[in-house]
Chain A
Amino acid sequence: MMSLVNRIGAAVLFLLVGTANAQELRIGLGNEPTAMDPHYHNLSPNNSLLSHVFESLVDQDERQRLQPGLAESWRTIDDTTWEFKLRRDVKFHDGTPFTADDVIFSFERAPNVEGSPSSFGIYARGKTFTKVDDHTVHIKTAAPYPLMPNDVSQVFVVSRKHGQGAKTPDYNSGKAAIGTGAFKFVEYTPGNRIVLQRNDQYWGQKPAWQRVIFRGIKSDPSRVAALLAGDVDLIEQVPSTDMERLKKDAKVTISQTVSNRIIYLHLDHFRDDSPFVRAKDGGAIKNPLRDRRVRSAISKAIDRDAIVSRVMEGEAIKAGQLLPEGFFGVSPKLKPVAYDPNGAKKLLAEAGVPNGFRLTIHSPNDRYPNDARIAEAVGQMLSRIGIDTQVVTMTQGVFFRDASTGSPDKGPKFSFILVGWGSGTGEASSPLKSLLATYDREKGMGASNRGRYSSAQVDKLINDALATVDDRKRADLLARATEVAIDDVGIIPLHYQVNTWAMRRGFSYKPRTDEYTLAGGVSKAN
């Protein structure tokens, strides 16, 4: 009797759930791409999705290490010239062979897409491309440029035949969305779904999925519910509030890894009279944040373990430098600063502010997971060592405007901020160049150095590194630059985020540091 009921139940369930194709994969995205044009918007959701259809010369693996992509090898042939040897067995989805002309066309197109909100120009400008033969490309720069493979890995190659004169809408409609990738473009309905189909002529390892459907489900609880209801097989950006529950759910598998994004504090290094630093009585005070001992005291006063376990609910890893271990150019010596409130008080006394001062921390409240709550926690911890900290949080549109250009002379407005940084290139020069190099508009250095940290020694190490082609030597220089800057408390690292995917039982995902959700990384046990 029982078994009959069970069997009927199973049959009904089967009818209701429908016959989900065994070769079909359904993915729930937290953030949808904004276009199907691979050169339109340099943004993680776009790059993640479009890497199914398009490929670059150099690929990044799940830990962002460089791998051969459309180029089978690359090397420097003199100080300022890189040679890329292209694969010969690659065809575009329409059957035309892939050649050097497509590469050169792509790098010409990438910086010049009409209306692009965030262009790929940074990776293409200052480089001269020459076709040597159909399968060899030379790229020349004015000065030695070791980051060439990293830059090249960021730009997708499109078909010249279909790309000529094609604008972003032509890619969105699918007309020009012809790549070399493991999946072909089928359908793009903005706000609803993106459908891809396996490319059976793919040159590399063919994916297990015949058809992949990506659906944008931005609302966190709805995304989780879609997974629990079995409407999607896998979701990205699992909210930390649901983690405990999902971990206990036998029908769900979790996949996690550390992210390339660090959450850190930046401090006012450049103004003697800092707008949000005041003496205890509210009067003016010479900016104590310019004193290394005060900065160090602040770092010691922060209980990173508490932030990770309480505020982040365990979904973070405390940080001692700019990128987690294992990335190119990180220092093996730097460890997270230990919580030491007494040491912090001593340092404040040595610096001549034994009773502390008044400070305001500014933070976005809708940009990073739990951002406002982290700022509140930091505020309380600093108040404990006598630095009376007021917490002000705001929406990201206001925060980033003011943090970058909010002061009367179009400089940083705040004295002490909480921000994050993700290293798209997957190596340490990215955060060093943007956050800790001296601000220099013409050279494009220190673009996000909102504390205007400046150290001749750090600058020199960064510049040396950026001119050193030898990987081992460059990694050393980057590690040393990081050590000097962190030792000087140029910024205060808090934690690295953790990227999380949740999937139905039986599925597995190779988690990635760059937050990309790739169908090729999903497999199903049978």
Chain B
Amino acid sequence: MVFVIRRVVQSLIVVLVMSLVVFIGVHVVGDPVHILISDDMTQMEIERFIQKLGLDRPVHEQYFHFLANAVRGDLGNSFVYGEPALKLILQRMPATLELALAAFLLAVVLGVPLGMYAGLRPESPASRAIMAGSILGFSLPTFWVGLMLIMVFAVMLGWLPSTGRGDFMTWDGLRHLALPAINLALFKMALVTRLARAGTREAALQDYVKFARAKGLSPARVVLVHVLKNIMVPVVTVLGLELGSLIAFSVVTETVFAWPGMGKLLIDSIQRLDRPVVVAYLVITVLMFVIINLVVDILYSLLDPRVRLREAKA
């Protein structure tokens, strides 16, 4: 319990510091007024608008105003949409979660077996191919891969829709989901494959695996129970963090596939200098990372009985 409370306090401090950094950051990068207004507006009307948004006040005053509202759960109204920033973000969250979870599943379901195979038979041609593929997955830019996927599967072959999102959990929805999910999963898949391979190679030489074999357990049981369980600790750690980044920063994939999620909202908001949305987005992102980290710590204790959820005594 103490552990959890302590973590929550730490997290609040992180959120506070982050909000300050972001707030100052977005004020330095430009003035949203001239992006939002129409060309025809007169000087007086522009001034009225600036006053209405509170942009004529000094930055520190604006920040305290923001904090005062944030404590009451109000992260401000979007300059562009005129609606609460939080509402805009939550409105688009389901689309992003759908995409991120699909990519996450793909990465795990394909990445772990591929990595284990490569780890068990490091010298086989198939393993070499898997490892070479993972290097490509790492190094090819997401933007380019996304466009190539569209060119091949949507434009040339015409199998799948190029952009947009269908209804959740329908055939049409899945068809729309396929390409962006693959695009987003590729990098994570490569990562998981390499982690699983390294873990498997190490675990395969451990005494308990030798012992299990010597006991006469079937190879399947040795691999699926003894090896798999032990390589999952590093995989879960990394995946936990990666899930956060999948949700928060699928910006490129969402842009390329015109996926109506939070990432697209973020990039649009940055381009239009919609400060409240950018700040609210990052506050939510930090909160999400903090929660995920907490969950990962708890998962550790389940996967590895040696880990206990309490602070080490100094």
Interface of A toward B, CB cutoff 8 Å: 13, 16-17, 34-35, 40-43, 114-119, 121-122, 168-169, 172, 189-193, 215-219, 221-223, 225-226, 228-231, 366, 395-398, 400-401, 404, 421-422, 424-425, 430, 434, 441-442, 444, 447-448
Contacts and interface: CB of A to CB of B under 8 A. Distances in A.
Interface string B30-62: 111111111111111110010000000000000
A425 B38 CA distance: 12
Nearest to B150: A225
Contacts of B49: 117-119
Given A118-B41, A190-B260, A35 B81 contact: yes
B283 interface: no
Contacts, number: 158
A202 to B, nearest CB: 28
A34 B81 contact: yes
B36 A192 contact: no
Give the most central of B33, B34, B81, B257: most A CB within 10 Å.
B34
A231 B35 CA distance: 31
A216 B265 CA distance: 12
B29 A444 contact: no
Closest 7 CB pairs between A and B? A397-B30, A444-B42, A400-B34, A115-B82, A192-B260, A401-B31, A191-B260
Given A114-B82, A215-B163, A396-B35, A222 B150 contact: yes
Contacts of A190: 81, 88, 91-92, 260
A196 B10 CA distance: 49
B256 A219 contact: yes
A16 B38 contact: no
Q: Chain B, interface size: which category?
A: 35 or more
B44 A231 contact: no
Interface string B112-154: 0000000000000000000000000000000000010011001
A424 B40 contact: yes
A228 B155 contact: yes
A218 B268 contact: yes
Given A115-B82, A219-B258, A422 B151 contact: no
A231 B39 contact: no
Contacts of B150: 222, 225, 229
A231 B159 CA distance: 11
A195 B158 CA distance: 24
A395 B40 contact: no
Given A401-B34, A422-B39, A40 B82 contact: yes
B164 interface: yes
Contacts of B33: 401
26 contacts: A16-B158, A16-B159, A34-B81, A34-B82, A117-B79, A117-B80, A117-B82, A118-B36, A118-B38, A191-B264, A191-B268, A192-B164, A215-B164, A215-B258, A218-B255, A219-B256, A222-B258, A225-B155, A228-B155, A229-B158, A396-B30, A397-B29, A397-B34, A397-B273, A400-B34, A424-B39
Contacts of A119: 41, 45, 49
A398 B273 CA distance: 10
Contact of B92 (A191, A217, A218, A226): A191
Contacts of A430: 40
B168 to A, nearest CB: 12
A397 B28 CA distance: 10
Contacts of B46: 447
Given A34-B80, A219-B256, A401-B33, A441 B44 contact: yes
B193 interface: no
Contacts of B31: 397-398, 400-401
Contacts of B77: 115
B147 A225 contact: yes
Contact of A118 (B37, B162, B273): B37
B201 interface: no
A115 B79 CA distance: 7
Interface string B56-89: 0000000000000000000001011111000010
Contacts of B45: 119, 121-122, 444
B161 A231 contact: yes
Contacts of A404: 34
A255 B201 CA distance: 61
B79 to A, nearest CB: 6
Nearest to A442: B44
Contact of B32 (A42, A397, A422): A397
B215 to A, nearest CB: 53
A434 B39 CA distance: 9
A442 B256 CA distance: 46
B35 A229 contact: no
A42 B153 CA distance: 39
Contacts of B34: 396-397, 400-401, 404
Interface centre among B37, B49, B265 (most CB of A within 10 A): B37
B82 A168 contact: yes
B165 interface: yes
Contacts of A228: 155, 162
A397 B273 CA distance: 7
A444 B44 CA distance: 7
A32 B261 CA distance: 14
Contacts of B264: 191, 218
B36, B43, B150, B257 interface centre (most CB from chain A within 10 Å): B43
A366 B29 CA distance: 14
Given A115-B77, A218-B258, A229 B161 contact: yes
Given A116-B82, A189-B260, A226 B162 contact: yes
A52 to B, nearest CB: 20
B30 A17 contact: no
Nearest to A441: B43
Contacts of B155: 225, 228-229
Contact of A434 (B40, B79, B92, B95): B40
A103 to B, nearest CB: 21
Contacts of A121: 45
A302 to B, nearest CB: 24
B83 A169 contact: yes
Contacts of B164: 192-193, 215, 217, 226, 231
